[in-house]
Amino acid sequence: MGDVINLNQVRKARERQEKTRQADANRVRYGRTKGEKQREGAEAEKQRRELEGKKKSPPEGGDDNKAS
């Protein structure tokens, strides 16, 4: 006959393993140093400025293009 096991202990152990796995994934995903965060922020700002500089300006003169 097999050994007697406590199903609550098995369930809780499985949940602890899953939480540990999720924590490891979060450390990789969100665990960045201050320097990495600053560098990424600076790169995002540079890209935003470059994009802003490439936008077309609205035509001057108002509604000259509209048909009356």
pLDDT 10s digits, 13-27: 999 999 999 999 999
| pLDDT confidence of residue 33 | 87
Q: Is 23 left (phi over 0), alpha (psi -120 to 50) or beta?
A: alpha
Please tell me which residue, 61 or 19, carries the higher pLDDT value: 19
CB-based contact 53:47 (threshold 8 Å): no
pLDDT of 5-54, one tens digit each? 899 999 999 999 999 999 999 998 888 888 988 999 999 999 999 998 88
- 65 or 13, higher pLDDT: 13
